[in-house]
Amino acid sequence: MAPRRQPGPAEILVTQVRSAIGTKPKHRATLRALGLRRIGQSNVLADRPEIRGMLAGVSHLVTVTQAPARPPRRGDAAAKKAGSP
C-alpha cells in the first residue's frame, strides 16, 4: 500500500507596511530573508515555525494574513480528477 500524501503546508501572505529605515540591521536582514524589499510588497510563504519566528521579530513592520487559495497547477492530480485534460 502506498504511503498517504499529506496536504501541502498552509501558506501566509506577508506584506511590508512600514519602512526599514532606522531599524536595526538584524530587522532589515530578516525582511530581506522574508523576500521583502519595499513598503507594499507582499510574499506568500509557508506557515512554518521558522517563518513565524522571523515574523515575530519584525511584527511592527509587516502584516500577516491567510494566503488566498491557489488554483491547481496544470497536471496536478486534483485537476485530472476534475476532468481537465
Tally of CA atoms within 13 A in the half-sphere of 9 that contains its CB: 9
Global confidence as pTM: 0.73
Per-residue pLDDT tens digits for 3-59:
655 566 799 999 999 999 999 999 999 999 999 999 999 999 999 999 999 999 999
User: Quick one: which H or E segment has residue 44?
Assistant: strand 42-46
pLDDT band at 69 (very low <50, low <70, confident <90, very high): confident
Question: pLDDT at position 16, please?
Answer: 98
Identify which has the larger pLDDT, 75 or 43.
43
Quick check: 32 and 58 in contact, CB under 8 A?
Answer: no
- Exposure of 84 by Cβ count < 10 A (0-12 exposed, 13-18 middle, 19+ buried)? exposed
Rounded Cα gap, residues 58 and 26, in angstroms: 9
73 pLDDT more than 70: yes
CA distances from 80 to 9, 10, 77 (A): 21, 22, 5
11-81: CATH architecture: 2-Layer Sandwich (3.30)
78 pLDDT more than 80: no
